[in-house]
Amino acid sequence: MIRFIREFAINAHGSQKYGENLYVKHLDDVYEVLKRFGFDKPELLEAAYLHDIVEDTNISIQEIEKVFGWKISDLVWRVTSAEGKNRKERNERTYPKIAGDYWSIVLKLADRIANVEESIKTGSTLLHMYKKEYPYFKSSLLGVFVDERSMSMWNHLDNLLEDK
């Protein structure tokens, strides 16, 4: 199933870029972050390939549910940015829906880790944005749904953003 979902995402994102690479690099990175931290839940790994599809392509959440089922579509919906006039407002509207579900928090953490690691590696100016918004990101999402594996992700992100 993961190969099918990966191909579905590649086709949906088309020629969209992630920095200098095709977008699938970011999707592969999110998948690999989840694996690195010991997450092997199939729906979570599958959602890694679909997490940006609704906000970045013409695929709707209803199509995701029809093709991949409710569990995956719920994860994708939760991490999909809500409408807002700017990034701050979108985050204020998005983080509460993520915070209501452990697996959504883990997926968003993997996404953010992948983004920060890539920003550090490439010297992207986005690193400053991620660091600036990290206190709000962390206070919004680090709550009751925490365990050893997710805490190791938070600690890793803390270390990545420390003194950068």
Domains of the chain in sequence order? 2-161 (1.10.3210.10)
**pLDDT over 90 at 120, yes or no:** yes
**pLDDT over 90 at 82, yes or no:** yes
Torsion of CA 90, 5, 105, 36, to 10 degrees: -130
**pLDDT over 80 at 164, yes or no:** no
Q: pLDDT digit string (tens) for 26-66?
A: 999 999 999 999 999 999 999 999 999 999 999 999 999 99
Contacts of 81 (CB under 8 A, 6+ apart): 55, 90, 91, 94
d(CA 37, CA 35): 5
* Sign (positive or negative) of CA dihedral 47, 1, 9, 153: positive
The chain-wide mean pLDDT, for the chain, equals: 95
Average pLDDT of the segment spanning 123-149? 93
List, as one string, the DSSP characters of 20-81: TEETHHHHHHHHHHHHHTT---HHHHHHHHHTTHHHHSS--HHHHHHHH-HHHHHHHHHHSP
